[in-house]
Amino acid sequence: MTTRTLTVTPFDPVAASPAARLAVGHLLTESHAFASPEEPPHLPEREAVSLTHLTPGDAMTHFAIWDGEEGARALGWARLEYSLTQNLHAAHARLIVHPAWRRRGLGQGLARAVEEAARREGRRLITFGTTDRLPAGDAFARRLGAEPALVLRQSQLDLAAVPDTLLDAWVARPEGDAYRLHLWERIPEEFLERAADVFMVMNTAPRGDLDVDDFQITPEMIRAWDDMIAEAGEVRPLLAAENTRTGQLAGYTEVFWSPERAALVYQGATAVRPSERGQGLGKWLKAAMIRHVRTHCPGARVIRTNNAHENAAMLGINVALGFTPWAEFTEWQMRLDGQG
C-alpha cells in the first residue's frame, strides 16, 4: 500500500483551466453543504466564477491541494486577500478543507502557505472568520495562535412572520419629510460618488478588537462590485435614503438574493450617518426592504444577517423585526512575529 504525498501548491484562478476552477467550486459547495445541510445548495459553477473576482486596488494569492494533477479533485483551498492602497499591515484569509479530508494536516499546510504569503507582502496581521456551526474552526484558530477580536450574532428572520402592522408603522413618515428613498440594483452613475461616501459610514460600526483602520470606498470599487454581483448570478437590491435638503445620502441598506437559491436572502450592510440618526431612518430602510423582498424575490422565505453583539442599536431593530439567533461568527486576528 502506497501513501500519497499531498502538497500545497500555488493556484491562479484566472490562468487556471475551467476544470481546475470548477474543481475548487465543487470543494466550496460540498464544504458549505456539510456545514449547512438545511440550506439551498450553492452551485459549483457560480463558485468557480467568483474565484476570479477582484476588487480594484486589491490583490489575492490562492493555494490548493489536489488529489492528483491540478484540475483533478480539490481537497483543500486557501486565499489571502489584501489591499494595495489601504490597511497595508493586514490581510484577510479564507481556508477550506474537504470534510472527508480533515484532521490530516491539510489545514495546517494551507495555513503555513498563507502565513508565508502574508510575510512576503509585509503584512503583520491576518484576519479570518469561523462559525460555531463548525466548532472545529475555533480550535483550529487557537492552535494557529489567533485571538478572537469580534463576535457577531448571526440571526435569521422568517419573512412571513413579520406583522404588516409593524411594517406600516416603520415606513410611515411625517408630513413634509425631507427624506426620500431610492431603490437600485445597479447604482446610477450620478449617485456613485454619493454612494461611495455613504458606504463609508460602515466605518462607524463596532470593530471590537480588530486592529484595522477605516476603509475607503471609491466609485470604481462600487462599479466593479456591481459587475461581480451580476456575474455571480445574484441580485443586490439597495435602498438609499436621500436628504433632499442637501442631496446627501443619509443611509442605506442592501440585500443579496439569487433566484437559484431563492429561499435564502442575505442582508448586507445597513448604515445611517451619525448626524442623521434618531429619525427612524434605519427602521424605515429595513421595513421598506422587507416589503421589497416579499414582492420582488419570489420564493424568498428567510433573511439572514450578522450583527456585532456590541451593536445594540442595529441588533435592537433586528430583534424588534423578529430576527432570532441562528449561529455565532467570530472574526479572529493572528499577529505575525517579526513584522513591523
CATH classification at residue 88 = 3.40.630.30
For residue 132, being part of any structural domain is answered with no
pLDDT in tens, 269-284: 999 999 999 999 999 9
The confidence score (pLDDT) of residue 1 equals 34
For residue 138, being part of any structural domain is answered with no
Domain total for the chain? 2
Q: Are residues 297 and 165 in the same domain?
A: yes
Positive or negative CA dihedral for 191, 194, 197, 198?
negative
CA distance 207 to 221: 22
Q: Are residues 216 and 322 in the same domain?
A: yes
The CB-side HSE value for 324 (13 A sphere, CA atoms) comes to: 5
The confidence score (pLDDT) of residue 146 equals 98
pLDDT in tens, 109-123: 999 999 999 999 999
Q: Are residues 189 and 291 in the same domain?
A: yes
> What is the span of the domain harbouring residue 160?
155-329
Exposure class string for 106-137: b at 16+ Cβ within 10 A, else e? bbebbbebbbebbeeeebbbbbbbbbeebeeb
Domain boundary pick from 101, 123, 145? 123
Q: Are strands 249-257 and 264-272 parallel, antiparallel or unpaired?
A: antiparallel
Mean pLDDT within 208-234: 96
Task: Let me know how long the chain is.
Answer: 340
The confidence score (pLDDT) of residue 340 equals 46
Dihedral, 268, 274, 275, 280 alpha carbons, nearest 10: 60
pLDDT at residue 13 greater than cutoff 80: yes
pLDDT in tens, 195-215: 999 999 999 999 999 999 999
For residue 130, being part of any structural domain is answered with no
124, 83 Cβ separation under 8 angstroms: no
321, 286 Cβ separation under 8 angstroms: yes
Q: Categorize the per-residue pLDDT at 337 as very low, low, confident or very high, splitting at 50, 70 and 90.
A: confident
Q: How far is the CA of 141 from the CAs of 11, 111, 132, in angstroms? A: 23, 10, 12
Sequence letter at residue 217 = I
Q: Are residues 298 and 173 in the same domain?
A: yes
The confidence score (pLDDT) of residue 288 equals 98
pLDDT in tens, 243-302: 999 999 999 999 999 999 999 999 999 999 999 999 999 999 999 999 999 999 999 999
The confidence score (pLDDT) of residue 338 equals 62
Q: Are residues 233 and 320 in the same domain?
A: yes
For residue 133, being part of any structural domain is answered with no
Sheet strand arrangement including 264-272: 8-11, 58-67, 73-83, 90-97, 125-131, 324-335, 147-158, 302-308, 264-272, 249-257, 238-243, 179-184
Domain boundary pick from 123, 144, 164? 123
Domain boundary pick from 74, 103, 123? 123
For residue 291, being part of any structural domain is answered with yes
The confidence score (pLDDT) of residue 339 equals 55
Q: Are residues 257 and 207 in the same domain?
A: yes
How many helices and strands, by DSSP H and E, does the chain display? 9, 12
For residue 204, being part of any structural domain is answered with yes
Average pLDDT, the chain: 96
CA distance 244 to 188: 17
For residue 258, being part of any structural domain is answered with yes
Q: Are residues 115 and 179 in the same domain?
A: no
The confidence score (pLDDT) of residue 4 equals 67
Mean pLDDT within 1-12: 78
Q: Are residues 291 and 223 in the same domain?
A: yes
CA distance 74 to 26: 8
Q: Are residues 190 and 309 in the same domain?
A: yes
Mean pLDDT within 47-56: 96
Mean pLDDT within 32-60: 95
Q: Are residues 82 and 174 in the same domain?
A: no
CA distance 299 to 321: 20
CA distance 127 to 116: 14
Positive or negative CA dihedral for 215, 219, 220, 223?
positive
Please state the separation of Cα 321 from the chain's center in Å.
Answer: 22
For residue 246, being part of any structural domain is answered with yes
